[in-house]
A and B are shown apart, each in its own frame.
Chain A
Amino acid sequence: MSASTSPIVGKLDWTVTPYTDLLHQVNSSTIVGAGAASVLVLGAVAGGAVLTWMRWWGPLYRNWLTSADAKKIGIMYIALALVMLARGIIEGFVMRAHQATALGTLTEPESGLVAPDHFAQLFSTHGTIMIFFVAMPLLIGLINFVLPQQLGARDMAFPVLNQVSLGLTAAGAGLVMISLLIGKFGTGGWTMYPPYTGIQYSPGEGVDYWLWAILISGMGSTLTGMNFAVTIFKSRAPGMNFMRMPLFCWTSLCVAIMLIYAMPALTVSSAMLALDRYAGFHFFTNEAGGNMMNYANIFWMFGHPEVYILILPAFGVFSEISSTFSGKKLYGYTSLVIASMSIAVISFTVWLHHFFTMGQSAGVNIAFGIATMIIGIPTGVKIYDWMATLWRGRVRITAPIVYLTGFFLLFVIGGLSGIILANPSIDYQVHNSTFLVAHFHNVIIPGVLYGMLAGIHYWFPKAFGFRLDERWGRRTALLFVGGFVFTFMPLYVLGLMGMPRRSPTFQNPDFLPWMYVASFGAVLMLGALASLVWTFWTSYRNRAALAVPGGDPWNGATLEWSTPAPVPKWTFARIPEVKARDDWGETKRAGDPWKAPEGYDDIEMPADTPHGLLIAGAAFALGFAMVWHIWWLAALGFLAIPALLAWRGMKVIEPRIIPAAEVEEADRRFRATVASLAPATRADEESERNRGRPDLAEFAG
């Protein structure tokens, strides 16, 4: 990085790429760095080439990037998350490979695959990516796709705002991605605690990359929360009162509330840190009245609700699949609703357990420790409810059920290690050790990752019209379960042996065997990732055999299964009149569920618009320019956003009208298709006989 700032390109110059480091010194660390940058560049070039070659730029722009359809926005969120997941898992693997070779000696402490500073960047980007750009877009994407369909709504309450949220999230992800090639990422972990991340100890662009990625994408998540909440309150189908909503909608409501109230805390703490770094403020500095402990306080005011934001949608998914794949009604609906809402509220009262060791008195620690243990109760209630749902059902061992089983076995262990950590006196022993790393991966992977992958498997046919290959789906799930056990169980042991987290090196040879086991697990995780990709690919090639035009491949009970697969852009030809909880199931029980509606009306849909794309571009330019001190571009990006809003505000925008005749034609064709299909029994669910029309005689749940 150059010492002076140019008015045109800010602090950018030719020495910021990892290739310079490679030319400077060739070792495994610089090779890994340059290799990662090359993967990014080659990936972008290859992606562009494929789009050009196949002439897909136009369709991509018209059908996806400018679409305000919540279903498509949801799919784009998930696609973004899966790309970022690939990077996150590979980084996890590199870190495990590093630590397996990082046994140093007292005289020569530094060893291993990558340099200490590079290792610090790895865990910082890995953590940031996994939380903000994998877990969040996965769940927000899934909610976007599923929620309106389950509520009987055509779209989100604010379709264009939804597009903007996606754009902001993608802009943040883009900033993290580009830090591979241009400059370096921060080294302060995913929490970026000052004073280490203050300007005095971390000059340079690294922390700023994190700050702007978080500020921009955090804004998107706050807006998403509002969108979800308004949708649930205002756009439910007639008759869909609260206690008739499927459980996934309830957990979405909890997520919405928590996004609205928790995300601003993150925005505030990041903005304060940005002011410290850019404008000479002293919120978190050591001198001039700053207090860095308040950063930890505000950050975790967001951070703890965040972990429940991550887990609750997975709880929603598990509620849906445990009921569908056992052919039974969900056990204890009301208790699940109460438990979800309790979790949402209690999760705002426990944040101090992330800094028990910061020095406050025992009384404060105990208060928050007890609050933390209380939150285990509603979670326990849920686990029992799902087990009771499966109890004596005819459970089909589909891929989602494999994930559910893995979740049962592993999540309970992770939850219990959480209750252990909630005891301040124990936390004093194991905090900041790999015991903690094992704990949070133990809840996040079986909870969030399995839950979201199960959900993707479950709703995939609704989105694309064909099922995912069950055999490969199960293999993927088993690999993720096995991979988890081998990667993270050893970390509990290592933590108890005294290994600190975020260690670039260690001197105790007793750690090594466990390191090897963990590395083997990381290989399995890579295998799971490959298997996941292969599942999509092989299912795509077999899409004709796996097609389910009937739209109800799992004999489901909620509204989204009443429509064709793939679901048309207007979702429902006519907004359903909801008469019961699990309305589609009740309709099946009552007789002919595929009866055509009495009449059809014109449907009003939001018009396509590049608005979200433009705002995302402006936000990305703003973030990138601020990171590199390119002030003119920053001003431009900053002013472009209100200008775009004003411009759209002043334009007359006509919605797109889909004429009743077109809807009627499509709907009649769908009903004729269903009538022509042979009903498939549940035993045939995985075979080609499953065309999406289930055997109603078997419907009990």
Chain B
Amino acid sequence: MTKSNTGMVDPQESAAKELKTYALGFAASVLLTGVAFAAAISDLPAVWKVGIICLAALLQIVAHLRNFLHLSFSGGQSREDLLLVLFSVTLLAIMAGGTWYIMADLGGRMHEKGMMPHEASP
């Protein structure tokens, strides 16, 4: 970790291989975006639509991290990369979970339908 980093691409890694990774990532991203749009336009039930869109989004995040940001769990940087992922997931879980907690509670207090009330209604 303390060794200085020149920010250069490892010369051993050929440019062609780099390019292939990027192209793969790009193709996967386009495909997954297409899937999300297709799901939105289709006449599947709403729960399915939301589920498919969320799944496509998650997969696309993985594709970006792997193919564009060179995240990997093997090799010289794996420990740092793992820590980074865990830290990010923790913060995102706090934000997403907190939002759910707060908005569901508010929805429940307003007798909103389709939300999970935090407290039993009176």
Contact = CB atoms under 8 A, between A and B. Distances in A.
B109 A359 contact: yes
Interface residues of A, number: 29
B2 A360 contact: no
A242 to B, nearest CB: 8
Contacts of B98: 301, 349, 351-352
B91 A297 contact: no
A235 interface: yes
Contacts of B80: 233
B94 A349 contact: yes
Interface string B15-52: 00000000000000000000000000000000000000
Given A234-B7, A349-B94, A360 B99 contact: no
Contacts of B3: 238
Nearest to A261: B91
A519 B105 CA distance: 43
Contact of B103 (A265, A294, A348): A294
Nearest to A301: B95
A238 B109 CA distance: 58
Interface string B75-109: 00000100000001001001100110111011001
A197 to B, nearest CB: 20
A261 B84 CA distance: 12
B109 A348 contact: no
Contacts of B88: 261
Contacts of A361: 105, 109, 118-119
A236 B2 contact: yes
Given A297-B99, A363-B118, A364-B118, A235 B106 contact: no
Nearest to B112: A291
A607 to B, nearest CB: 16
B92 to A, nearest CB: 8
Contacts of B95: 265, 301, 348
Nearest to A296: B102
B5 interface: yes
B106 A359 contact: yes
Interface string A356-368: 0011110110000
Contacts of A419: none
B91 A238 contact: no
A293 interface: yes
Contact of A358 (B2, B99, B106): B106
Interface in A542-586: none
Given A234-B5, A241-B2, A352 B102 contact: yes
A494 interface: no
Nearest to A291: B103
Nearest to A352: B102
Interface string A235-249: 111111100000000
Tell me whether chain B's interface is mostly helix, strand or loop, or mixed. helix
Interface in B47-85: 80
B4 A234 contact: yes
A338 B53 CA distance: 40
Nearest to A152: B4
Contacts of B99: 294, 297-298, 301
A314 to B, nearest CB: 23
Contacts, number: 61
A261 B92 CA distance: 8
A301 B91 CA distance: 11
Given A265-B95, A348-B95, A351-B98, A360 B105 contact: yes
Interface residues of B, number: 22
Contacts of B110: 359
Contact of A364 (B4, B94, B102): B102
A195 B7 CA distance: 47
Given A359-B106, A361-B105, A236 B118 contact: no
A157 interface: yes
Contact of A297 (B5, B7, B102, B109): B102
Tell me whether chain A's interface is mostly helix, strand or loop, or mixed. helix
A187 B81 CA distance: 44
B109 A360 contact: yes
Contact of A293 (B5, B7, B101, B103): B103
Interface in A335-361: 345, 348-349, 351-352, 358-361
Nearest to A604: B6
A348 B119 contact: no
Interface hub of A239, A348, A351, A364 (most chain B Cβ within 10 A) = A364
B111 to A, nearest CB: 12
Nearest to B5: A234
A261 B89 CA distance: 11
Contact of B4 (A235, A348, A349): A235
B17 to A, nearest CB: 20
A479 B12 CA distance: 61
B105 A348 contact: no
Nearest to A305: B91
B2 to A, nearest CB: 5
A236 B2 CA distance: 7
A363 B88 CA distance: 27
Given A261-B91, A351-B98, A364-B101, A236 B4 contact: yes
Interface in A221-271: 233-241, 261, 265
A358 B107 CA distance: 12
Nearest to A367: B101
Nearest to A364: B105
Contacts of A351: 98
Contact of B7 (A157, A237, A238): A157
A361 B4 CA distance: 52
A291 B2 CA distance: 48
A97 B101 CA distance: 43
B5 A360 contact: no
Contacts of A359: 106, 109-110
B87 to A, nearest CB: 8
Interface hub of B4, B5, B102, B105 (most chain A Cβ within 10 A) = B102
Given A238-B2, A241-B2, A358-B106, A348 B118 contact: no
25 contacts: A157-B7, A236-B2, A237-B4, A238-B2, A238-B4, A239-B2, A241-B1, A265-B95, A291-B103, A293-B103, A294-B99, A297-B99, A297-B103, A298-B99, A301-B99, A348-B91, A348-B95, A349-B94, A349-B98, A358-B106, A359-B110, A360-B106, A361-B118, A361-B119, A364-B101
Given A236-B4, A297-B99, 18 more contacts: A157-B7, A233-B80, A234-B5, A237-B4, A241-B2, A297-B102, A297-B103, A345-B91, A349-B98, A352-B98, A358-B106, A359-B106, A360-B102, A360-B106, A360-B109, A363-B105, A364-B101, A364-B118
Interface of B: 1-5, 7, 80, 88, 91, 94-95, 98-99, 101-103, 105-106, 109-110, 118-119
In the A-B complex, the 7 residue pairs with the closest CB atoms: A234-B5, A360-B105, A261-B91, A364-B105, A241-B2, A360-B106, A348-B94
Interface of A: 157, 233-241, 261, 265, 291, 293-294, 297-298, 301, 345, 348-349, 351-352, 358-361, 363-364
